[in-house]
Structure 1
Amino acid sequence: MNRRGFLRATGGIAVLGPLAVACADTRKPAASGNAVLKYAMSAEPKGLDLATTTESNSGIVIHNVYDRLVELTADAKNVTPGLAERYDISPDGVTYSFALRSGVKFSDGSVLDANAVVASLRRTMEVGQGASFLLTEHVKPGNIVAKDAGTVVITLDAPFAPFLRALALDAVGSVVNPTVVAANKTQADPTAAKYLARNMAGSGAFQFVRWTPNQVIELKPNEGHWRGRPKLGGVLFNSPVEPSTAALQVERGDLDVAGNLPANLIERLGGLADVGILSTPLLDTTYWVFQTGSKPFNDVRVRQAICYAIDHDAIMANVVKESGVPLRGPLPRDLIDGYDNASEIAVYKRDVAKAKALLADAGYANGLKIDSTYVPGYGTLKQIAEVMQANLKDAGIECSVGELPLSTIIDKVGKGDLPFFSWKSSMNYASPDAMLYTKLHGKATQSVEGNIARYQNAEVDQLLDRARGETDRKAQDADWLAASARISKDVPWLPLYQDVDRRAVRKNIRGYKESSLSRPDLFAVEKS
């Protein structure tokens, strides 16, 4: 799990289209409305500057106040037009040309043209925080240019297949008004980061009104948005309250949408006539990490034995329940066509006899003692750890279970001091590359954001390197699938489940769809 995993911070974009792609706009203008959506946040936002924050509570506000060149569908699999009504990719996969919509303006009436897009992307690179590495690692500022007022051209240093997905990340591709930046910058703050941490200047479907910390963030419709006026009369993002209070507010109609509630409260709300429960698989995954560079976990047979000893079905049925779906290999579902049914992926079911045989073959016929660590107070990790402890005992593995605060675990993980521990990952962008390359490539950083398992496999590295440069979608998916299959057999992680967001939504709210990256688009939502 990275630090943002527990905050469910992600963003990204979906699949690269074929070369010389022309996008067709499928999003429809909306009718006007005056009702205000009241949305419960799970935590106070860290800030509102798209260039400095990647956590999800900031992200949902940013997503609806700013526009991007391209957007992500709710299932994170496809690209839809944004500010760019079409784009072209050169045959070598290096040069991207974006044709902008004409007549788009920022909410203050300023023109949004190619120069504004270029200035915004370069600003993100200059700030150098958040997810800016998805630009700085692949393109030089001088290679982001305005060919003319309606065309942005970006030339990468080398092919990077998930680039469009990265551009659609709120923390990368959201376009901020350069006029506002210029008006609020200082010598000490040349990017106006201090101002934009508490204010917003976008062209999105909604316009920022105010942020009263620990109370509310208010948005109003952008009357001149290029898609038309949103159906809502506004949005109130309410600061978090105690879960039972939030549930009561949903029941009374004081809140319209609320998530991150305990299962018992979700079930109670789901039993009400005027409240529905929306379940959405997220691109967040929960697993236990093996320290593959340390004994006994440097032996793949030990790692496989532990995977066979665990009763995955019982954990899902009795502990996780509706809050997750079983994880196959290292990736969430649906990111690669055919992945969910691919026979190449090793899927572990409980087989105590096989676990014992693998241990004996590894030299542990008389059993094994190991330590396991989890983060307390987060979901069902404690219950999962206890089930795993009992399962492992049946296979002759004595597992001591302990808990450590997240901050301590992060410190120890970065030093490689924990042998077997719980982790949760949120993908920075909706591509297999975000999980496989950044967390399992041999050259990936061994920090908490990277390869914390210290996993090394030259075959996997070769496949991932090749996938990054592929311009053919089928060939790219084939490399990612082959890498995933190899990883599933090496098991640097004990895969558990893909998180499912269970959100209470009052039934007078129509058109609300949760995003797999926790960035719902509120443009088409209406309230009666």
Structure 2
Amino acid sequence: MRKIRRMMALALSATLALVSLTGCGSSSTNGSAASSSSAKGSDTLVYAQGAEPRGLDPALVDDGESAKVMSNIYEGLLKYDKDSTKVQPCLATSWDISPDGLSYTFHLRKGVKFQDGTDFNADAVKANIDRQLPPKVTQDMAYASFVFGSVKDVQVVDPNTVKINLKSPSTPFLKNLAMIMAAPMISPKDLKDNNNNVNQKPVGTGPYKFVKWDKDQDIVLVANDQYWGTKPLIKNVVFKFIKDNSARVVALNNGEADVIDGIDATVVKQITDAGNKIFQAPGMNINYMAYNTSRKPFNDKNLRAAISQAINVPELVKSLYKGYAEPATSIMPTFMEGYDKSISQVAYDPQAAAKTLKAAGLTTVHMITYTNPRPYNTATGQVLAEAIQGYLSKVGVTVKIDSYDWTTYKQKVKEGDYDIAFYGWVGDNGDPDNFMNLLSDPDPTMNIALYNNPQFNDLIKKGVATPAGDARNAIYTQLEKIAAADAVWLPISHAQTLCAYRPNVQNFYFHMTGITPFVGVSKK
């Protein structure tokens, strides 16, 4: 999750994925747009999600709630195919790679304008990447090192051609350029006018433009009439924030929302009985519990393993997710390259756990968690933490749980004052490095276990540079085995993507990377 790159993020989506989409949005307030309170008819779509975005600057956020909105405002050089993470042209129409794999030359789409009327060109690409490279990169740019860490420099060849030179070969580089974090193109004028932070005033090249953000209520977007690609079918999109799961279901069933995310198995029947539809697909994600390996007691691998032994993961997953998630035996999803079915985590053995914990004198732990649903955990972090609290009570360990809303929780994770924390990751690009790098990332909001294993870190570097194929897959299998042996995380589940929508909504889908592009969505 690279400042939760992974993290991130459940949402319903429209007809194309960020990169599979032709656009994203803008910070312009031109044009009319309906507010969520007055949204009616086929010209407005209301999407209700469980938490508010942290911001709308792709370089400065790392969460899924932000990603869903940004995927309608911005575009990158590349995009993902609708049904996979295969890269496709977007703002770049083609590209050439040097024989040594160190130079990528991108041929840019001509005639594209940012939503503020300025030109998209090679200078804009250079400005967007340079702000995330030393010496300009800042600590709050969570995904900068993940997407552009291998970049040496950017050269403007001509207005429609840009050359990106790497310090070392990077197999995931092209896929990284299609991500919604860090990679999208922002208007350089917008960045200059807003002191290099457009969290509140986003301007991209995508199919929707930003209109307004009423805190704790909604974000309103309007169709970009000057969009270079396929024009949106719905004029206004409203992202409405409804924290309570049951309240979102009521909003859907009452027609106050057209699409909702963050639902779980307990409300599916209520939704379908009301005549609404369920969007369901395999998820590219991981839901996990992490130990703070940087301090006592969980700088001790044996104590991490003992706590994990106390938790019956298959039973827990069946109880909480009712068949809409599968128990995780690894960090990576089972369909990802490098996954090996022989990988196993610490086995459930409460008797052995109790013995080890008693001998060590470990009787209390401090656990922090989040209160809202996440794409990888629709039961909420609060419910998950309480379930694990119950398991640990049976082996003589008392758990103190501190719970926070998502935005506050991200700050608490950054502060590092916990023994155990809960997180998850929604894959950004379909590459195994995107998952395993979480345990190597120096950013504490990505690597919440604060794990630092030199052998692991060296293998991560090797995996990035190794060409796709069996040799590279074997590296990521080995990384999985190291993480399992060290009991850094307790992998819990891989969730299905689960959303709901009104029957008059057409061509809605949620991309496997956790974004919700609406350019092809319509309402009868």
**TM over 0.5, shorter chain:** yes
Cα 1:374–1:321 change in 2 (3 A) is farther
Between the aligned partners of 1:488 and 1:338, the Cα distance in structure 2 is 14
Give the alignment of 1:50-449 within 5 angstroms.
50-73=58-81, 77-107=85-115, 109-125=117-133, 126=136, 128=138, 129-130=140-141, 131-134=143-146, 137-140=149-152, 143-181=153-191, 184=193, 189=195, 191=196, 193=197, 196-240=198-242, 242-261=244-263, 264-273=266-275, 275-292=276-293, 300=301, 303-322=304-323, 324-334=325-335, 336-337=336-337, 339=339, 342-347=340-345, 350-351=348-349, 356=352, 369=363, 371=365, 373-375=367-369, 377=371, 379=379, 381=381, 384-385=384-385, 387-388=387-388, 391=391, 397-406=395-404, 418-419=418-419, 421-426=420-425, 429-430=428-429, 431-439=431-439, 441=440, 444-445=441-442, 447-449=444-446
SS at structure 1 position matched to 2:219? strand
- What do residues 58-84 of structure 1 show as CA deviations (whole Å, max 9, x unaligned)? 322221122110113456632222111
Cα 1:179–1:388 change in 2 (3 A) is closer
SS at structure 2 position matched to 1:319? helix
Counterpart position of 1:472: 468
Between the aligned partners of 1:494 and 1:202, the Cα distance in structure 2 is 39
Cα 1:283–1:28 change in 2 (3 A) is closer
Between the aligned partners of 1:154 and 1:5, the Cα distance in structure 2 is 22
Between the aligned partners of 1:305 and 1:242, the Cα distance in structure 2 is 35
Task: Please tell me whether the aligned partners of residues 42 and 239 of structure 1 are also in contact (alpha carbons under 8 angstroms).
Answer: yes
Amino acid at match of 1:168: A
Between the aligned partners of 1:370 and 1:239, the Cα distance in structure 2 is 36
SS at structure 2 position matched to 1:172? coil
SS at structure 2 position matched to 1:231? coil
Task: Please tell me whether the aligned partners of residues 64 and 205 of structure 1 are also in contact (alpha carbons under 8 angstroms).
Answer: yes
Q: Which moved more, 1:1-10 or 1:198-207?
A: 1-10
Q: Which moved more, 1:512-521 or 1:402-411?
A: 402-411
Between the aligned partners of 2:169 and 2:432, the Cα distance in structure 1 is 16
Counterpart position of 2:35: none
Between the aligned partners of 1:197 and 1:26, the Cα distance in structure 2 is 23
Cα 1:313–1:450 change in 2 (3 A) is closer
Counterpart position of 2:501: 505
Cα 1:445–1:119 change in 2 (3 A) is closer
Q: Alignment partner for residue 447 of structure 2, among 447, 450, 471?
A: 450
SS at structure 2 position matched to 1:219? strand
Amino acid at match of 1:327: A
Instruction: Give the drift of 1:345.
Output: 1.0
Instruction: Give the drift of 1:199.
Output: 2.9
Cα 1:411–1:110 change in 2 (3 A) is closer
Percent sequence identity over aligned pairs: 26
SS at structure 2 position matched to 1:208? strand
Counterpart position of 1:16: none
SS at structure 2 position matched to 1:472? coil
Unaligned runs of 5+ in 1: 11-24
Instruction: Give the drift of 1:281.
Output: 4.8
Instruction: Give the drift of 1:225.
Output: 3.1
Matched length: 487
Instruction: Give the drift of 1:238.
Output: 2.5
Between the aligned partners of 2:247 and 2:296, the Cα distance in structure 1 is 48
Task: Please tell me whether the aligned partners of residues 337 and 432 of structure 2 are also in contact (alpha carbons under 8 angstroms).
Answer: no
Cα 1:240–1:3 change in 2 (3 A) is farther
| Structure possessing the higher radius of gyration over alpha carbons | 1
Q: Which moved more, 1:62-71 or 1:45-54?
A: 45-54
Task: Please tell me whether the aligned partners of residues 74 and 520 of structure 1 are also in contact (alpha carbons under 8 angstroms).
Answer: no
TM-score, reference length from structure 1: 0.78
Task: Please tell me whether the aligned partners of residues 217 and 238 of structure 1 are also in contact (alpha carbons under 8 angstroms).
Answer: yes
Between the aligned partners of 2:483 and 2:172, the Cα distance in structure 1 is 20
Instruction: Give the drift of 1:451.
Output: 5.8
SS at structure 1 position matched to 2:71? helix
Task: Please tell me whether the aligned partners of residues 113 and 205 of structure 2 are also in contact (alpha carbons under 8 angstroms).
Answer: yes
RMSD: 3.9
Between the aligned partners of 1:320 and 1:338, the Cα distance in structure 2 is 26
Cα 1:34–1:319 change in 2 (3 A) is closer
- What do residues 411-439 of structure 1 show as CA deviations (whole Å, max 9, x unaligned)? 887687644x2320336843433442342
Between the aligned partners of 2:92 and 2:227, the Cα distance in structure 1 is 14
Cα 1:37–1:331 change in 2 (3 A) is same
1:517 aligns with 2:518: no
- What do residues 422-465 of structure 1 show as CA deviations (whole Å, max 9, x unaligned)? 320336843433442342x3xx537343262545362x333222
SS at structure 2 position matched to 1:498? strand
Unaligned runs of 5+ in 2: 11-18, 24-40, 373-378
TM-score, reference length from structure 2: 0.78
Task: Please tell me whether the aligned partners of residues 367 and 398 of structure 1 are also in contact (alpha carbons under 8 angstroms).
Answer: no
Counterpart position of 1:18: none
Instruction: Give the drift of 1:153.
Output: 0.8
Counterpart position of 1:15: none
Task: Please tell me whether the aligned partners of residues 9 and 54 of structure 1 are also in contact (alpha carbons under 8 angstroms).
Answer: no
Task: Please tell me whether the aligned partners of residues 309 and 351 of structure 1 are also in contact (alpha carbons under 8 angstroms).
Answer: yes
Cα 1:413–1:255 change in 2 (3 A) is closer
Between the aligned partners of 1:257 and 1:389, the Cα distance in structure 2 is 34
Amino acid at match of 1:466: K
Cα 1:34–1:473 change in 2 (3 A) is farther
Between the aligned partners of 1:105 and 1:412, the Cα distance in structure 2 is 40
1:35 aligns with 2:43: yes
Instruction: Give the drift of 1:479.
Output: 0.9
SS at structure 1 position matched to 2:174? helix
Instruction: Give the drift of 1:503.
Output: 1.7
Cα 1:85–1:475 change in 2 (3 A) is farther
Amino acid at match of 2:230: G
Between the aligned partners of 1:316 and 1:251, the Cα distance in structure 2 is 28
